[in-house]
Amino acid sequence: ACEILDTQAVLAERKTRFASNVKLSYRRPVTFLRGWRHHLFDERGRPYLDAYNNVPHVGHAHPRIRAVASEQLARMNSNTRYLHPAQIKLAQRLTAKLPPELEICFFVNSGSEANELALRLARAASGGYDIITPDHGYHGNTTGAIDISAYKFNRPGMSGRKPWVHLVDVADDYRGRFRRDDPQRALHYAQQIDAALDEIRQNGGRLAGFIAETFPSVGGQIIPPEGYLDEVYQRIRAAGGICIADEVQTGLGRLGDYYFGFEQQKVRPDIVVLGKPLGNGHPVGAVITTREIAERFAQGPEYFSTFGGSNLSCLIASEVLDIVEDEALQENARAMGARLLGGMRELGARHEIIGDVRGFGLFTGLDLVKDRESREPATEVADYVMNRLRDLRILVGREGPQDNILKIRPPLTIEAEDVDMLLDRLDLCLKEAGSALFAAT
């Protein structure tokens, strides 16, 4: 008989061997042993639609990724101190997609590490130390990245905001201070930079730069109003600061209409940070900047990462970028994103619980509310829907300061039939949740 993994035993052992803040998804945790495109298979081979994971950008278990990885592992794997065409190839592929002044690449092992390096670059180039960043941001799990991630440092058990970190509101025009009824909302959010700059001056500090996820994800799948980043960048640059775009979630074609999120905001960052989807599951991140910034940084000690920019990592990342082109995945993200967002808006017309539908391409969110007027977050409903969808074998997540925003962010390979199934099941879960919620009130 074929052996089936004892998931209860794995769960028990996990509790023995891991800290309780190393979390599992879902009330009924799920085991996955295989993947294929935008599907995952559990220990019994049952299929799940993966509508959540952005790391398998070109799909789980892509044969081309497997081929380049096994081929390179059979040859050798080493670091950036030796010449190898793989590093050049990845640098060429990435810079071809970016504005021409972003021409110098660094390769690292994760998004956190990429943001750490971005901070060092901004400080080296500006001579300042202070950072301005939107509230509820997330840039990684290392000490420096946590310091600039309000989503983490503001939680119980954390040391709070460092004096060199200055928060502005996240430009959420559904729940925030300035909403869609204010035609000047982009400007009003950006003007908060002026107050942050005053604070830095009063403290006797000096600005290094501004960092933001181009579309804030843990903040609630936020799409900032048009013109927001342009107004911000003008202010930052006038004060001598460096503008950093964390494109870990928004880069590489996910947005459909745009290869990078900053294109939608019509800005040109000084530093672009990439991670997650770049290696399709293999740990690789990148930082791309201008020659001027890189040269200031190069006045310091050697930059070296043992694994960052290995031949293997660079070949895998180049392959990911090539697959996005060859399989027209950006175009698919545009078409499937439009289908998904259209379907979600249609659900919004029928379900009172849906307060807002937002997104771009396959970066989407459903803001669930108890009441459309007050916009009180329907956190329990989001929790219910996410777990119920898991039981129906569809993976989605939830996000936002109140955890009430359903996050739907599938691999770029998703097809129309899958989108329709997702919408259909979502409809069912919202019906169930809605009748329970409104029967209770």
Residues that bind ligand PMP (CB under 6 A): 110-112, 115, 138-141, 213, 217, 246, 248-249, 275-276
Based on CB atoms, which residue is closest to ligand PMP, 285 or 348?
285
Is the CB of 138 or the CB of 233 nearer to ligand PMP?
A: 138
Strand locations in 96-198 (E) = 104-108, 130-134, 165-168
The interaxial angle of helices 291-298 and 111-126, nearest 10 deg, is 80
Q: Is the dihedral of CA 294, 280, 262, 328 positive or negative?
A: positive
Nearer of residues 168 and 381 to ligand PMP, judged by Cβ: 168
Would you say 152 or 345 has its CB closer to ligand PMP?
152
C-alpha 334/C-alpha 256 separation (Å) is 4
Q: CB-wise, 137 or 225, nearer to ligand PMP?
A: 137
Task: Compute the distance between CA of residue 155 and CA of residue 187 in angstroms, rounded to an integer.
Answer: 29
Does residue 91 sit in helix, strand or coil? helix
Q: How far apart are CA 204 and CA 185, in angstroms?
A: 30
Q: Which two tokens stand for residue 383?
A: 């929790």
Judged on CB neighbours under 10 Å (0-12, 13-18, 19+), 421 is middle
Least distance from ligand PMP to the Cβ atom of residue 226, Å:
21
- Residue 380 beta carbon to ligand PMP: minimum distance, rounded to whole angstroms: 25
**In the complex, least distance from residue 275 CB atom to ligand PMP, rounded to whole angstroms:** 5
Output the smallest distance, CB 192 to ligand PMP, in A.
Answer: 20
Three-state SS string across 386-404, please? HHHHHHCCEECEEECCCCC
Give the Cα separation of 22 and 280 in Å (integer): 22
**Residues 210, 244 contacting (CB under 8 angstroms):** yes
Q: Considering beta carbons, is residue 200 or 278 the nearer one to ligand PMP?
A: 278
Give CA–CA dist 248/217, Å, rounded: 10
Contact (CB, 8 A) for 277 and 54: yes
* Residue 217 or 280 with smaller CB distance to ligand PMP: 217
Question: Following DSSP, what letter does each residue of 53-67 receive, concatenated?
Answer: -SSSTT-BT-HHHHH
Nearer to ligand PMP, 319 or 399 (CB): 399
CB of residue 201 to ligand PMP, shortest distance in Å: 29
Query: Cβ closer to ligand PMP: 128 or 251?
Result: 251
| Least distance between ligand PMP and beta carbon 368 (Å) | 21
Backbone phi and psi for residue 364, each to the nearest 5 degrees, phi listed first: -135, 160
- The residue sitting closest to ligand PMP, measured at its beta carbon, is 111
Residue 213 beta carbon to ligand PMP: minimum distance, rounded to whole angstroms: 4
- Beta strands (DSSP E) in 15-84 are 34-36, 39-41, 47-50
Q: Least distance from C-beta 281 to ligand PMP, angstroms?
A: 11
Contact status, residue 62 vs residue 316, Cβ threshold 8 Å: no
Smallest gap from Cβ 215 to ligand PMP, in A, equals 9
Task: Quote the least distance from Cβ 246 to ligand PMP, whole Å.
Answer: 5
Nearer to ligand PMP, 225 or 251 (CB): 251
Partners of 286 in beta bridges: 107, 274
